[in-house]
């Protein structure tokens, strides 16, 4: 019936798995990354062709139409999406992948005989459903459809406990009876759990949640591979699960917090809820012309871009400003905090899009000792990642988070929309420092005026 023997199928899947490993390995350097990704895509294509040849597949026309529909939806969106909206798209694709895994496992329930295979079905369904609804809520938060503030209600912890209990019971019944009704209940519970898990997470922690849900989907796919007895799914899913876990931990430590603190912080009222109180202490404000003069006659400028820059779509203007200053002999580098932007490494992508060569991007550890020799630190749309409270006030929610030491520069200029504190809702002492000046307004607007003023000098 099938064109390929199980041996050949296994070998081709092995080739695909190696392609996936090479795809991830390619990302160790920007030079090899793109080729690596294409190798990964080739591996995926090989695997899809193999599955059609390896077993007796009915309904081929319907399947091909479905593939065409999926591609027709995803490809144009992926080509057109703004780089600032990348986190939403990644979360969206992650969610649908998790949903697909949950559905596959549910449909395979009838064919899985052994108890451990049924346990894998339950695991896949639960984790896949959590990933699906959790990602949906994440997309809502990033897109501004749902408030990015932590949503909590009294008794949330109790509800969560009850859900875990019901999930265990439903899972037990699925393993014991294999009944479709319990499987549907389990799926519904997974969906509710995913939403409740992400709703209480504050906006600043959403990037970590995307990464965590990515790992979840990976694990769900790996478990679905166990259900179907497909080693490629097991390997690919596990790779993603492992990579997502590493990234989540790296992100969490860049913010000086534990992963559990982010997920469950809101239950205890300790997430990044923050206050929005404004202080009326005096600050030194500036205007675009003065800042332009300051930058033009500096020898070394460090730009600290934050999410506010991306929101204002100012990355192209700042790139132009940097080029202009460099043409005048000013040394300009960008200092990138690990959590700048809305997902790990997001700022790097945004600046790469604006044609800033990645050689002029500096990581935190690299740039921090250099602030002493910096004339002007230009902070655009960032706040918490330069807040000295992370070092000086043990009671602060961000205490322990590694920060960029912009306070050591000779002059500091903040481009801010208002005096409102950042996501973490903590006052930034640096704003009141005598060597700090503030330029209020939309980041792109201010940058355009500064660029004009520099050109006029």
Partner 1 sequence: MDPVTLLTVVVLAVFVGFEVVSKVSSTLHTPLMSGANAIHGIILIGAITVAGQSLNPWLLTVALIAVVLATANLVGGFVVTDRMLKMFAPRKPAGADAKDAKK
CA distance 393 to 22: 45
Residue 27 binds partner 1 (CB under 8 A) = yes
Site string for partner 1, 237-256 (x = CB under 8 A): xxxxxxxx-xx--x------
First to last CA, the chain: 78
Indicate which single residue of 23, 199, 335, 398 sits in contact with partner 1 (rule: CB under 8 A): 23
* Residue partners of 112: CB distance under 8 A and separation at least 6: 118, 120, 121, 178, 227
Residues 38-97 that bind partner 1 (CB under 8 A): 38, 40-41, 44, 47-48, 50-52, 55-60, 62-63, 66-67, 69-71, 73-75, 77-79, 81, 83, 86, 89-90, 93-94, 96-97
* Degrees, nearest 5: CA angle 107-109-111: 100
The Cα–Cα gap between 207 and 90 comes to: 11
Query: Which residue in the list 384, 405, 433, 445 is annotated as catalytic?
Result: 384
Let me know: does 455 contact 293? Beta carbons within 8 Å: no
Residues numbered 177-206 forming contacts with partner 1, rule: CB under 8 A: none
384 given a catalytic annotation: yes
> Binding to partner 1 (CB under 8 A): which residues in 104-143?
104, 106-108, 111, 116
By C-beta, is 48 or 162 nearer to partner 1? 48
Token duo for residue 92: 């969206």
Helix (H, G, I), strand (E, B) or coil at 416: strand
- For partner 1, the closer of residues 24 and 156 by Cβ is 24
Residue (109 or 386) nearer to partner 1, CB: 109
Nearest approach, Cβ of residue 229 and partner 1 (Å): 4
Nearer to partner 1, 297 or 358 (CB): 358
- By CB under 8 A, is residue 344 in contact with partner 1? yes
Binding mask 303-342 for partner 1 (x = CB under 8 A): --------------------x--x---------x-x--x-
SS3 letters for 395-415?
CCCCCCCCCCCHHHCCEEEEE
Report the DSSP beta bridge partners of residue 380: 305, 415
User: Which position among 151, 189, 204, 233 is part of the footprint of partner 1 (CB under 8 A)?
Assistant: 233
Sign of the Cα pseudo-torsion (102, 106, 112, 118, in order): positive
- CB of 22 vs partner 1, minimal distance in Å: 9
Identify which of residues 16 and 199 has a Cβ nearer to partner 1 in the complex. Answer: 16
Paired tokens of 383: 């706040």
Give CA torsion, residues 447, 78, 209, 335, to 10 deg: -30
Which residue lies nearer to partner 1 by CB, 48 or 179? 48
Active site positions, annotated: 384
């Amino acid at each position: 019936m099938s064109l390929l023997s199980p041996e050949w199928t296994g070998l081709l899947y092995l080739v695909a798995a190696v392609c996936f490993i090479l795809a991830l390995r390619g990302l160790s350097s920007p030079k090899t990354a793109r080729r690596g990704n294409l190798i990964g895509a080739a591996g995926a294509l090989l695997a899809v062709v193999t599955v059609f040849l390896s077993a007796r597949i009915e309904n081929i026309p319907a399947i091909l139409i479905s593939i065409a529909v999926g591609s027709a939806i995803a490809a144009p969106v992926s080509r057109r999406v703004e780089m600032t909206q990348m986190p939403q798209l990644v979360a969206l694709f992650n969610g649908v992948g998790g949903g697909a895994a949950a559905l596959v496992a549910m449909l395979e329930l009838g064919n899985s005989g052994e108890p451990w295979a049924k346990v894998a079905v339950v695991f896949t369904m639960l984790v896949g459903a959590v990933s699906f609804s959790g990602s949906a809520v994440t997309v809502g938060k990033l897109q501004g459809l749902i408030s990015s503030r932590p949503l909590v209600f009294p008794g949330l912890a109790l509800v969560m406990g009850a859900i875990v209990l019901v999930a265990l019971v439903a899972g037990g019944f699925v393993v014991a009876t294999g009944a479709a009704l319990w499987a549907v209940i389990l799926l519904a519970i997974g969906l509710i759990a995913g939403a409740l898990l992400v709703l209480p997470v504050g906006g600043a922690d959403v990037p970590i949640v995307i990464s965590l849900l990515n790992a979840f989907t990976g694990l769900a796919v790996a478990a679905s591979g166990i259900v179907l007895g497909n080693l490629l799914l097991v390997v690919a899913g596990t790779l993603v699960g492992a990579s997502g876990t590493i990234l989540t931990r790296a992100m969490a430590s860049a913010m000086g917090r534990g992963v559990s603190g982010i997920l469950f912080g809101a239950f205890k009222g300790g997430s990044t809820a923050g206050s929005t109180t404004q202080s009326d202490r005096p600050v030194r404000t500036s205007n675009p012309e003065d800042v332009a003069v300051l930058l033009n006659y500096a020898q070394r400028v460090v730009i600290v871009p934050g999410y506010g820059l991306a929101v204002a779509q100012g990355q192209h203007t700042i790139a132009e400003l940097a080029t202009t200053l460099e043409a005048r002999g000013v040394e300009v580098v960008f200092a990138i905090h690990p959590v700048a932007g809305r997902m790990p490494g997001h700022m790097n992508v945004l600046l790469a899009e604006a044609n800033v060569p990645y050689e002029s991007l500096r990581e935190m550890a690299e740039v921090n000792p250099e602030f002493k020799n910096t004339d002007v630190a230009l902070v655009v749309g960032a706040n918490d990642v330069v807040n000295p409270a992370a070092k000086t006030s043990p009671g602060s929610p961000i205490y322990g988070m590694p920060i960029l030491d912009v306070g050591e520069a000779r002059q500091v200029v903040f481009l801010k929309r208002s005096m409102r504190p950042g996501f973490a809702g903590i006052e930034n002492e640096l704003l009141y420092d005598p060597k700090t000046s503030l330029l209020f307004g939309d980041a792109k607007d201010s940058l355009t005026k500064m660029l004009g003023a520099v050109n006029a000098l």
